[in-house]
Amino acid sequence: MEAVILILTLLLVAFMALGVYAGVKAVRAAKRGVDRTITHARRSVEDTALRAKSYGQPGVPGELAQLRLTLRTSMRATQDALNAGAAEDASLSESLGLFHRLSAHGRELDNDLKRLEREPDRATVATLLPDLRERTERITHSAESLRWAARDRAMQFADDDLAALNAQIDLEAGALRHWTTEEPVAQGDTAGHSWSAPAEEGTPPSLTPPDPRLHTGYPWQKSAKPETTN
């Protein structure tokens, strides 16, 4: 009896520990979801503000905002493309590693641009714009190269798979059309057999001349009147 109670107690403790573990995991997952939502919302607000600055503020502030917006848009698009491709193609893991290294340079440039937005000396910032523009172009060019290479790779795999599928379908269609036809039934020789009625034998011409009194003529002919003599 004591052994049964001990086993039940251990099972109860195990279930309680499992419940606590599941609860902690659920809380952490919910916290990560909330953090992602907050990060996404903050990013959307920042992008909207940068877009408004790039169009609404001319000069140095507008150009700095445009550089930040271009950098963030390119890096985010590349990150989404690589993450989506890596889920189906393990060969993109090295590309993801390169992108992570590139992201470090991108974050550094974004922080520099963000600090310069609050810089009151616009003349000094204007002298730094060519270098900032070049750094932005180099980073975005590398990001776009990775993004388009991953997309071209995915499209090539899709084309190869479609070509193989088309070849298999053509083979299957040819096999379905390959059927055996029966030999035509040999018909008997019908030469000399006639389905028409036997030809009637001709009757010999009559030797008795026709009686002229029996010839009444045609209905449209007028009968000849006898001549009268006075």
**Same domain, yes or no: 67 and 127:** yes
Number of structural domains the chain divides into: 2
pLDDT digits (tens, 9 = 90+) for 15-44: 777 777 777 777 777 666 655 666 666 666
Contact 122, 59 (CB under 8 A): yes
What is the band of 74 on the pLDDT scale with cuts at 50, 70, 90?
A: very high
pTM over 0.75: no
Q: In 3D, which of 196, 105, 228, 90 has the Cα closest to residue 153?
A: 90
pLDDT digits (tens, 9 = 90+) for 120-179: 888 888 999 999 999 999 999 999 999 999 888 888 888 888 999 999 999 989 888 877
Which residue range forms the structural domain that includes residue 131?
Answer: 58-157
230 in any annotated domain: no
d(CA 39, CA 198): 106
**Same domain, yes or no: 67 and 148:** yes
165 in any annotated domain: no
What is the residue type of 128? L
205 in any annotated domain: no
* Torsions phi, psi for 208 (to 5 deg): -90, 125
